[in-house]
Amino acid sequence: MLLSTSCASIFNGPYKKVQVHTTQAATVYYNEGSVKTVDNIASFEVKRKKDTMQFSVLQDTSMRTYAVNKKHSFAFWSNIPLKFGVGMLVDFTNPKPFTYPSHIYLDSSNTNKGYYTFEKKLPKGRWEFQVDMPFVNLFHREDPYGYRELQEGFFGVGLGINHFYRNNTYLNFSAHSFLLSNYPLPPPFIVFEQKTNKEFSYQLTLSNNHRIQKFNLGYGLAYVFNRKGYTVRLPDPMEPQTLNLLASTRPLPKEDVTKMAKSIEPGIFEQHWRNIQSFGLWFPISYELTKGISASFQYRPTFYRDKSKMESKFENLYSFGLIYRMKL
C-alpha cells in the first residue's frame, strides 16, 4: 500500500506560494486577481498544473506579461530513493508533482525570460549568518609508514558570518566540528554510542567567496585541531598466573571458552586522547537549492607543523552536506 502511493500526492498541496520581487512598486495580476507589492515583493498562491504559470506586472504605466515554466518538485524525485520509483507512476495522473519557483526576481534588462529564479546581485555591505550541516565526512590520510586509510564520519555542525565587501563577493569566518569514526545514527542517538576509538575534527576557517549565479566558490585558510580517543588495556597482576595455569591444562572445548569470556572480567581499560594541531587550505563550494538553503561540498587539505615524527604525512577532508544562510 505504501509503494502504491505517491510522495508528491501526500506532501504537496494543490497550491504553491510564489513571491515576485520587483525593482520598484508595482501591481501583479494573476488569475483575474491583483496583488500590490509590499517592499517590492508580491505574494500569491498558484495552483499546480501541467502548464506554464502566467502573470502580468504593472510598473508605472507599462504592463508586461511573464510565463514561468513548471518543473518537477523535490517530492516527485524522492520517489526514487524512498519507493524505488513506483510512486512516479501515480504522480503522472495528477498535477501535484509539478511546482514553480518560490521566488521570481524580475529584470527588465533581460530580453529573453525577463526574470531570474535567484537573487542576481547581493549588494555590498550585506551581512549573513551561516549554518553548515555536514552529513558525510571522508577523512583521507597517510601515516609515517606509507599506509593510507579513508576514515568515514557522519554529521557535524558549523557556524559562521558572511560580509559582502563587494557585490556578490564576501568574506566568511566560520568554526566547524566534524564527527569521524562514527555510525550514521540520527544526531540525538550519537551521544549514547559507546566505541573504543573516537575522533573529532575542529577547525577555524577564513575564506574569500565569489557568488556566480547560484554557485558560491571560495578559497582560504584553515586552522585544524584534531582530537582522537583510544583505549589502552592495563596489565593485570593476576594475568601471568592465569596464563601459566591455562598453558598447563588441556585445551578447553570451544563452548567453555565462550562462557569464560563472557563471565570473567576482561581487564582494566584506560581512555587516552591525542591532540594534533595543523594548518591547511579551505575550499568551500555550494549550490543554491532554494532561497537560503544550498547543497555544499567542502575540501580541506592540511599540513602538519608538529615536531613529532609519528604524525601523518598529509590529511584530506571531504565533506558533503547543506548550508543555511540568513540575512542579518
SS3 of residue 97 by DSSP: coil
* Of 80-84, 89-93, 190-194, 279-283, the least confident: 190-194
pLDDT at position 121 over 70: yes
Q: What is the pLDDT of residue 296?
A: 96
Instruction: State yes or no: pLDDT of 259 exceeds 70.
Output: no
More confident residue, 113 or 168: 168
What DSSP string runs through 176-244? EEEEES-----HHHHTT---S-EEEEEEEEEEEEEEETTEEEEEEEEEEEEEEEEEEEEPPTTHHHHHH
Average pLDDT over every residue of 289-306:
86
pLDDT in the model for residue 98: 82
pLDDT at 253 over 80: no
Q: In b/e form, how buried is each residue of 182-192, taking b as 16+ CB within 10 angstroms?
A: beeeeeeeeee
Q: Which residue has the higher pLDDT, 123 or 60?
A: 123
Q: Is the pLDDT of residue 11 over 60?
A: yes
- In the structure, what pLDDT confidence band is assigned to residue 311 with cuts at 50, 70 and 90? low
The CA distances from residue 133 to 156, 176, 226, 286, in Å, are: 6, 9, 19, 12
pLDDT band of residue 137 (cuts 50, 70, 90) is: very high
pLDDT at site 234: 59
Chain centre distance of CA 28: 36
Q: Show the cell assigned to 299.
A: 575540501
Q: Does residue 91 or residue 95 have the better pLDDT? A: 95
Grid cell digits, residue 203: 577547525
Condensed to tens digits (0 to 9), the pLDDT of residues 212-249 reads 989 999 999 999 988 877 666 655 555 544 444 444 45
- Which of these, 232, 177, 174, lies nearest to 199 by C-alpha position? 177
pLDDT reported for residue 250: 55
pLDDT, position 246 = 47
Q: Over 80: is that where the pLDDT of 269 sits?
A: no
Q: What is the pLDDT averaged over residues 35-42?
A: 90
pLDDT at 200 over 60: yes
